[in-house]
Amino acid sequence: MVKTLTLGLLAISVAVLSPSVWRVLSEIVLGGFWFEFGLLILGFASILLAAIASRRSGATSSTSAVTPNALAMGLLLAFLGVVWGWYASDPVWVFRGWAVCLSGLICLSARLSSLTFFHLACLAFFLPLSLWRLAPEIHSYGQMIATSFAGAMLDLAKIFYFARGNVIGLVSTDFLENGQCSGLRLLGPALLVTLGYSFLCGYRSMRTIYLALVCVFWVLVLNGVRIAYFAWRQDNQPSPLSFNAPLADTLCLLGILFLSWSANQFFEALRTKEVESDPDQANSSGTATKDFSQAIYFVYGFLIGIVFIGSAILYRDSTHPYVRLSSRAMASALEGIKIPEEIEGWKLTEVSNSKESIKPVFKHGETWFQREWHLAKQSDDSSSMQLRLEGPWSYPPQIDWHWRWFGWHLNTPIVDELGQFSWAMNRSIVEEAFVVSSNLGIASSDPSGSPVLQLSLIQQGYQPYSQKQQKSQKELFGKFRKAIEEQIRAKVSDGLDR
């Protein structure tokens, strides 16, 4: 009776959360997020293989079935993920909660062990990495470490370089390695393959964490090697080998996996005997019965909470639907955006190759638009600004992510004026700037209801700007924002795919 009730609640939880899962999958397919789609396939293949391996190992007896304690711990993570997804309007976290509930349903139905449930829940909660709202922060700190390592290698090679935040530039060519310093490449695939291998081998949690940390370490190191190699070539240094970007990606991934596997063999050599068994098997029947009677109430509580929050998400999504856009509709809305050549005495010139442009690894689609215009005051040659438009983002990162990536530091808190953000920043004692920025909904006036573009107007100079200048900049930004939003609304109406 208890097992039947638990299976029923798990099935209801999976069903209630399924619309949010469908929303994530729809965004991946319609937006052309093929990298994320590959991560999903790789992750669920690992989950399936881990379950099959557990079945083939014979871990299906009543003593090794998933325990209420293990189920309660996993469902606690699922509940927290669903609550955060509801609070932050982020269906990816709801997706993770659904995947953990599905893992529990599989393990309880097939009488798989608690260790197998841990493996499945860990893989499920990991997916999909690239759609994390924390991805810009993760990649930023990781890229900072990789760039520092690349700088150390260039120092050894006696190549003069300079650093702008997470990006390396060459003194000889005044060239920024934006393409190579755009995030941690191969972090998702390398981690998924490593975790999948660990789970298939039946390793315990400590060894799995050890292998994951080793994998991340080698991702950072080889990413730094890649940056140093391309900087070496850009400096016209002789090189016995020549690699293009796809071949470099392949070699880096193989290197990461080989070095992680080597670390695993080293770990194996230090142990005289590896015992990969479920600790719950050692419990006596009396202890198991006591744990069962106590933990099952937590299981019921978490499942009821998940069903309740999932129902609230269903109601909110039905009243405030998220507009999904196909990649073709996205392209048609963004490619033809026009900016007037002159406005209020400012002459606009589009910049073809901006030094601080970046195509981030953690972007939310295969298509990435980034355009920049230079504004010059006709009556004053010393006054200038930059207008920047980039995206699209399914879930916009922090509004100042681009400038922090290139080494800028905030002088003042970010001020939010009804969706229009402004702040002052500096990068050195002679570089200061004032920024006005906003997220523009592509298919909806509400940025939380559709993919967004980030529009920014930057005034950069060598001294702080007066309140009058800041007010004038905000008013000018409002006119640009209105003109661009009207163009997007007019072009996207025929390409909506609801």
pLDDT over 90, % of the chain: 6
Answer yes or no: do 305 and 390 share one domain.
no
Residue range of the domain that includes 312:
2-133+274-319
By the 8 A CB rule, do 114 and 122 touch?
no
- Is the domain of 15 the same as that of 88? yes
| pLDDT value at 456 more than 90 | yes
Give CA–CA dist 453/264, Å, rounded. Answer: 44
Q: Are residues 315 and 364 in the same domain?
A: no
Banded model confidence at residue 321, pLDDT cuts 50, 70, 90: low
Whether 282 shows a pLDDT value over 50: the answer reads no
| 378 plus 448 within the same structural domain | yes
Asked whether residue 376 falls in the same domain as residue 315, the answer is no
Q: How many CB atoms lie within 10 A of CB 40?
A: 18
- The pLDDT confidence band at residue 217, using thresholds 50, 70 and 90, is very high
pLDDT for the residue 215: 92
Quick check: is 412 in a domain? yes
Instruction: Kindly tell me if the per-residue pLDDT of 281 is higher than 50.
Output: no
What is residue 58's DSSP assignment? T
Q: How far apart are CA 191 and CA 268, in angstroms?
A: 20
Lowest mean pLDDT among 39-48, 51-60, 117-126, 447-456: 51-60
Number of domains comprising the chain = 2
**204: in domain:** no
One domain, residues 362 and 458: yes
Residue 344's region, left for phi above 0, alpha for psi from -120 to 50, else beta, is left
pLDDT in tens, 373-384: 888 876 665 567
Nearest Cα residue to 133 out of 399, 398, 404, 358: 398
Residue showing tokens 């290698």: 153
Quick: pLDDT tens for 105-149: 888 887 777 777 877 777 666 665 555 567 788 888 889 999 999
Measured distance CA(255)–CA(151) in Å, rounded? 21
pLDDT above 50 (res 275): no
As given in the structure block, the two tokens for residue 374 are 């230079």
User: First vs last Cα of the chain: how many Å apart?
Assistant: 42
Query: Whole-number mean pLDDT of the chain?
Result: 77
Given 300, 319, 338, the domain boundary residue is 319
